[in-house]
Structure 1
């Protein structure tokens, strides 16, 4: 996780911290809400020339690694890190995710500047040191500002060099909003010119994404105009998903534990799936009503489809696992598909490999979502006309070929959900 923890914005925060809470070293300041604290400091930065000057001076002191500045900087970083950790836990994000702040690259930035100067790759203009991409329609990178300071361009050049030379990366994927696409065109070209990566051995790409819009088709904001916090969004999702489950009277058939698991799977799953089921380069309208609809291409619909299949398999009451039965049937040649709907479902299942190969290459996860939705439609068509369990004259007849198809379909759903980071449940 590449985080901005260095530069002018931190000089601004630290200057405001020292002004507002001069005894911050002895008494922990009440700044748990960093968003509010940042807004206060930004307002002063924009409106008070003396504070702006102090913020710049504080940035220089921070980048010189003065002990007092590092202590205050660490305090703010820790508050931010605590916020990250809570969101990571809710979203079930790998706890092994490495945080890399811009501060990590500070010494490497100095090395990059020295290297580019030594090889005459920088052009001086109005006191700034720039490097131009081959395509002159893209802007140059500012490697050194007129006051001698570094920029995001400097840290990005240091980062790409570190990832290739130290991490030995063969593929580097930058997940950053589409508004930064021009910057990445310049960065990748300049890094290639500098020899920081070789396009024949290392693939670098910008995984861009659009903006989340509100129902008014404008950038998603709260009524007061603030940025919507992900934690608040998740809390609302949990409330709405529980309400939806109760409307369907699931609270009467599920245990308390099963209901809670279903509530969380639906709430987190619907937010993730809504985001990933759209072409990532396009903006989309955020709507809980649409997300929680149990019809159409939504996480709720697909989670219901999966739990339905798992219920069918349970009701077959087989003496062995379906895996064992399926393996035996394949080995003795008794696994056969005769009905056109069986064939159609089997073909849909085998297409999964092609979808995975495609998304690994182009990083368009909405293709996987579209595939899973189509698979659910094909399964419904199959189940409507092909009995799996037939009850006739007080006798239950199980079609093992079709149970094996059900199991294969369920496994594809579970694997697809795992790739999308969505938890599944046995019952809903």
Structure 2
């Protein structure tokens, strides 16, 4: 079995070689332009010959480097043929590598050939397609070689090698190359999952990733506006952790600033002995509203509040103690919601970055990157970016969100050693994060190898297509939303008379699985950049692409082996004795859907959209239903006695269950044995 150390070493060498090829290609193109389009009329023969020699050297160097990369790829392919791989194979990556090699062999003069591999939507045209012939023909024609796309496809076909993944190729239409997978390959991958007892992740280069999500304000209850960031951020973190990345989940809570001045001043008045007796702040939301009313209406109170802010920023002992009390009460309430939703987070609020804000201002000033603007100190991004500057220091000398976000990026990159930063916030903050990224690059904090993503999302709407509110017009509290979900889920289970067959413990588990699962899944199912209408009625439907339908489908799938009295351990053992049955058309169709899992996962890491994973779950469930309707796994006689067990099909059933369980885990859903 190929070790991950070998994979890492190969990837490092191949990446370095390809990076050098890219650099040389740019040099070559620049030199060729200068030779063909920018030759001075008075150039000497010797100068022209010198340019031609340099051109020839670059072409020779590129040829050597390309050969080196191909040799490394061949070595890796040979190892994989002999020993297999410890990871799950990405079919698209595998096919792309196969066709890249064939196209490079067929047309060595094309430095960066288009390699387009897609999943076929019609079984008549294979399982996958390579659609490179048309753009290649256009590229060749533009350089003076007129050729038909179908002839290009034939030339590519002549260079394709035997593969452990591919059964056959065929040319169709104007030059499409249809690709058919080997069933033996499918059996091998599914067997590996069964033997491992889990779906192994595809290989990726490991990174240190920081995901900033949820981020409510201290002293305020979480509301429906925090729902999407919390759910999306958790699922992204789960997926990246599954792939083996070192993920730090950060909750950048609002625990600093003016609001704490008014809260502390109100605490001093309402509980003057707070230093010796812990104040009974049970309803923090009411406490906050009281302090806000006083702040807005009482000028003397407002002055005291501002003084408390200054003392807090100076870390005065008694003021800091009051701040900690308020944060502790709020934190306990937040944790109740996170526990219900099974969300893991490390709190690191704005207060954490106070000292780093001071140092980032000094650093930016030393680099002459701050400008005076009506008493403020502002910073522009690269080439003035999008025309909006950051406000690093306010006119009163205070700091802003811009300051803390710049300080946070510096800390996360330099202290936490992050390679990849992900921020999960509403779409309204897109411009802010574009500016932050641009300024961090200009300041030299974000380097070229760092990745920073703003995962934006649209609003949650009520059924009136307006922002989701209570009947009284208040923002919906997240805890109340979850309570309503539990109530509706229990009603649904009772309608199905599940309360008559499930124990109290099983009913409670099913209720929570359905309630929290349907809320999470309905959110993740939608393209995150779109608004969506929150509707418990639609979420709790047991037909179509809903959590209820999928959770029920998995419960039904798991019941098949129980009906046959065969345990998971027995299935695991039999997976090396009995081949997985893929002869029937519906068996093979289901297997091919399961095999797409690595590509779905890798696709999510590219753009951080989770709806394709939800759509994949539904595709698996539909393919399984087709399979189960046509292929008997357990046959019984009229008395209900088992007369035949098709073990090959039971193994396919188990592989399906493993895939769905892994997908549910990544989406934050909790399936139950009985529903």
> Structure 1 pair 415/29, CA: closer, same or farther in 2 (3 Å)?
same
How far did residue 20 of structure 1 move? 3.3
The CA distance in 2 between the partners of 1:372 and 1:79, in whole Å, is 40
Equivalent residue number for residue 595 of structure 2? 350
* 1:290-339 deviation line (CA, Å, top 9, x unaligned): 1111111111110000000001111122376212212222xxxx434111
When Rg is computed on C-alpha atoms for both structures, the one with the higher figure is 2
Which of 391, 398, 404 is the aligned partner of 1:155?
404
User: In the alignment, is residue 127 of structure 1 matched against residue 384 of structure 2?
Assistant: no
- The equivalent of 1:361 in structure 2 is 606
Which residue is equivalent to 1:425?
Answer: 672
Q: What is the Cα deviation at residue 409 of structure 1? A: 0.6
- Matching residue of 2:656: 409
CA RMSD in angstroms comes to 1.6
Q: CA deviation at 1:82?
A: 0.4
* 1:200-249 deviations in Å (ceiling 9; x for gaps): 22111111122111122111122222221111111111121111111111
Q: Residue 281 of structure 1: which of 503, 524, 529 is its match?
A: 529
Which residue of the partner structure matches residue 487 of structure 2? 239
Aligned to 1:381: 626
CA contact (8 A) 2:255 2:351 kept: yes
SS of the residue corresponding to residue 162 of structure 1 reads helix
Q: 2:300 aligns with which of 14, 39, 50?
A: 50
Partner of 1:224: 472
Instruction: Using structure 2 for the length normalisation, give the TM-score.
Output: 0.61
Matched, 1:179 2:428: yes
Q: More deviation in 206-215 or 73-82?
A: 206-215
Q: Distance in 2 between matches of 1:147 and 1:218?
A: 38
Q: Distance in 2 between matches of 1:395 and 1:111?
A: 74
2:313 equivalent in structure 1: 63
Alignment partners' CA distance in 1, 2:283 and 2:606: 39
Q: What is the distance in 2 between the residues matched to 1:21 and 1:335?
A: 70
Q: Which residue of 1 aligns with 2:496?
A: 248
Query: Does the CA contact (< 8 Å) of 1:387 and 1:399 recur in 2?
Result: yes
Q: What is the aligned partner in structure 2 of residue 8 from structure 1?
A: 258
How far has the Cα of 1:49 moved from its partner?
Answer: 3.4
Q: Secondary structure at the match of 1:327?
A: coil
C-alpha contact 2:427 2:529 (8 A) present in aligned 1: yes
State the 1:33 CA deviation. 2.4
- DSSP-derived class of the 2:422 partner: strand
How far has the Cα of 1:9 moved from its partner? 1.8
> How many positions carry a matched residue from both structures?
421
Q: Distance in 2 between matches of 1:178 and 1:395?
A: 56
Gaps of 5+ in 1: none
Q: 1:168 to 1:395 in 2, by over 3 A?
A: closer
Q: Is the 8 A contact 1:280 1:364 kept in 2?
A: yes
For 2:474, what is the secondary structure of its paired residue? Answer: coil
For residue 264 of structure 1, give the secondary structure of its aligned residue in structure 2: helix
Give the Å deviation of 1:136.
Answer: 4.5
Give the superposition deviation at 1:27: 4.1
- Distance in 1 between residues matched to 2:434 and 2:404, nearest whole Å: 16
CA distance in 2, matches of 1:41, 1:348: 57
Distance 2:642 2:410 in 1: 69
Contact kept? 1:138, 1:185, Cα under 8 Å? no
